[in-house]
Structure 1
Amino acid sequence: MIGKNKKMKKTVGERVFDILVHGILLLCFLIILFPLMYVVAGSLASAKELAENKFLIIPKEPTLDVYKYILSTKTFPRSIAVTTLVTIVGTFVNLIMTCLTAYPLARRNLLGRKWLMLGVTFTLVFSGGLIPTYLVVNSMGLIDKYAALIIPGAISSFNLVLVKNFFQEIPESLIEAAKIDGSSEINTLTKIVLPLSKPALATFTMFYAVGHWNQFLQPLLYLNDSKKWTVQILLRQIVMLSSTSGEDDGMMPGFILPMMSLKLAVVVVSTLPIIMAYPFMQKYFDKGVMVGSVKG
């Protein structure tokens, strides 16, 4: 009872430290929040209102004209479908290849393990470069194919190292017990290792998905057919070519497209799907990233 009634009192120094920490966190939150609010508010504001206000948080007369313009383009639904397909298939390939590579590297009795890890870590610092990569993709006949957005980046060396470290923390006794029971390596991976690695897999699923969704340079280099453009390339094209509304844009006659609002709306459209998916994965992030990064 004495322990419950007697609360630990903080010293003046501890209170000052707590206030300082909370103040810094609040400042960081505001630094992140206000630009996001400006982007959303600017995409809903008129060109006149944006010109009159250097920093806009709440538009007085919000309008969805810019979003109507973006959504009215004939290629927008197709580009969204293409990006979604590439993101889903690419993320699935990334996870399969990463897990199949990380699992044997996590086994300490693997022959030549140190040399294989040296090769993986070497690619973290050095890469072939843009032109050699393009020549390889071209020689494989992947130009103007969606596979060019998936196969060259099938494995991320950085993510591979983290997943390997996560697999190493699974008790070796579980794997040995499965082996005694006659379990194959693939069965051990799918039935024991992967179920115990859900936080890591969820985290790297998000990492890979964000990477595929935000791909810009690869589609720009490898996709020549405008019908195969991803949403990032399409939105760039909209910003570059749309100084005024066209005849088929579905906008009112004489409507002048505000370019700044268009650019801000493009940011919202391109990031909204990932922002909406993040809360569903957030609970896995701390454990999934930190546990795999503790040991080498």
Structure 2
Amino acid sequence: MNILRKLHPVTIFNYFFLTLFGTITLFPFLHVLAQSFSSQRAVVSNEVTIFPVEFHWGAYRLLLQDGDFYQAFMVSIIRVVAGVAINMTLTTLMAYPLSKQGVKGKNLVMNMVLFTLLFQGGMIPSYLLLRELHLLDTMWVMLLPSAVSAFNLILLRNFFLAVPMSLEESAKIDGAGHGKILWNIYLPLSMPAIATLSLFYGVMHWNTYFDAVMYISNSDLNPLQVYLRNLIVLSESNIETTNNTGMFLVATETLQAAAIIASVVPMIIIYPFVQKYFAKGVMLGALKE
């Protein structure tokens, strides 16, 4: 009570509002989680809110017995790891020279980057281009078209602009080239931005499914989000949900909820490790010395 008396009324209101808002945003996740652990009868009769009713984990058991789930999960893992590596390498190598003074053609390149934020090639031209490049039905079709994000490139460039020029000048006096300056000065000082953009790219690769639906017909290359889409939107699955007597073991909604939770858990696990860099990276990336 003494602590509450010392707090300003506006501060108390802010804490109350943020707590209420956080609870509201958390409700859908808790509802889906409760559904995934509830019985078929409880789900079908709409008795589930944020707590499981008649606890039952059969949906997870059926999900983990499906080979397509493991295949899609591994494709998503490979896509995230390889995609983030390609994204960060190309974004860094492009942002560094664009942050330097006196680079010829820098303004032209930046205008071209800004142009891509406003206009895109379109679905059909993109498909025809990728077909001519023989990228359809390959893992590369999910990695190369999104290799560089214009927004993330601008964010990292602004972060590089905030690095003091005196550090670079001192390194040049000692005989360091641009490669060594980038590796030993810019990257260590830019870890908040690197972690933030890696999170952006990782979430993008993990959640995106439209490119796989458009460009991939080989089911072995479908990521987890396509597997989840087929389960939810098309209401089809290769998982057997009945026993030998033909009685349903789990409700379709329960199985869908279990698949959603399984797809969200990896991001929940990864986020705490980069959360401390998140706010700092976004804020510092917008500042210029």
When normalised by structure 2's length, the TM-score is 0.91
Report the equivalent of 1:128: 121
Partner of residue 100 from structure 2, selected from 95, 107, 110: 107
Using a 3 Å threshold, how does the CA distance of structure 1 residues 180 and 251 change in structure 2: closer, same or farther? farther
Where does residue 35 of structure 2 map in the other structure? 42
The residue that corresponds to 2:246 in the other structure is 254
Match of 2:157 in 1: 164
Q: Deviations over 1:235-275 (max 9, x none)?
A: 223343547963xx695643423111122222111111111
- Tell me which residue corresponds to 1:29: 22
Alignment of 1:144-293 (within 5 A): 144-239=137-232, 240-242=234-236, 246=240, 253-256=245-248, 257-293=250-286
In 2: Cα distance, 1:236 partner to 1:255 partner: 25
Q: Which residue matches 1:66? A: 59
Given that 1:50 and 1:56 are in contact with CA atoms closer than 8 Å, whether structure 2 keeps it comes out as no
Return the letter of the residue paired with 1:160. Answer: L
Which amino acid in structure 1 is aligned with residue 223 of structure 2?
A: T
User: SS where residue 10 of structure 2 aligns?
Assistant: helix
The one-letter code matched in structure 1 to 2:230 is Q
What percentage of aligned pairs have identical amino acids? Answer: 36
Contact kept, 8 Å, 2:231 with 2:256, in 1: the verdict is no
Alpha carbons of 1:199 and 1:255: their partners in 2 closer, same or farther (altered >3 Å)? farther
Structure 1 unpaired stretches of 5+: 1-8
| 1:19 maps onto 2:12 in alignment | yes
Q: Deviations over 1:129-172 (max 9, x none)?
A: 22211111111100000000000010000000000000110011
Q: Is the 8 A contact 2:86 2:147 kept in 1?
A: yes
CA distance in 1, matches of 2:244, 2:168: 67
Distance in 1 of aligned mates of 2:115 and 2:74: 36
Q: Does 1:88 align with 2:107?
A: no
What is the Cα deviation at residue 17 of structure 1?
1.7
Aligned AA (2:79): V
In the alignment, the residues of structure 1 paired with residue 162 and residue 196 of structure 2 have an alpha-carbon distance, to the nearest angstrom, of 17
Instruction: Show CA shifts across 1:46-65 (max 9, x none).
Output: 22112334551112321111
Using the TM superposition, give the Cα deviation of residue 75 of structure 1 relative to its aligned residue in structure 2, in angstroms: 1.9
The 8 Å contact of residues 66 and 238 in structure 2, kept in 1 or not, is answered as no
Matched residue, 2:68: 75
Q: TM-score, normalised by structure 1?
A: 0.89
1:202–1:253 CA distance, 2 compared to 1 (3 A): farther
Task: Please state whether the residue corresponding to 1:75 is helix, strand or coil.
Answer: helix
Residues 251 and 153 (structure 1), Cα distance of their counterparts in 2 relative to 1, 3 Å cut: farther
* Cα contact 2:230–2:237 (8 A) shared by 1: no
Q: Counterparts of 1:198 and 1:255 in 2: how far apart (Å)?
A: 55
Conserved in 2, the CA contact under 8 Å of 1:219 and 1:230?
A: yes
> Equivalents in 2 of 1:295, 1:53: separation in Å?
53
How many residues align? The count is: 283
Is the alpha carbon distance of 1:108 and 1:244 closer, same or farther for their aligned partners in structure 2, counting shifts above 3 Å?
closer
Cα distance in structure 2, aligned partners of 1:244 and 1:199: 42
Q: Secondary structure at the match of 2:67?
A: coil
The answer (yes or no) to whether the contact 1:69–1:250 under 8 Å persists in 2 is no
In 2, the alpha carbon distance for the partners of 1:107 and 1:44 equals 55
- Indicate conservation of the 8 Å contact 2:87/2:148, yes or no: yes
State the distance in 2 between where 1:165 and 1:191 align. 18
Tell me the distance in 2 between the aligned counterparts of 1:253 and 1:86.
Answer: 40
Aligned equivalents of 2:181 and 2:287: distance in 1? Answer: 24
Which amino acid is the alignment partner of residue 151 of structure 1? Answer: L
Quote the Cα distance in structure 2 between the aligned partners of 1:270 and 1:181. 49
Q: Which amino acid aligns with 2:210?
A: L
1:263 is matched by which residue type in structure 2?
Q
Correspondent of 1:117 among 110, 114, 132: 110
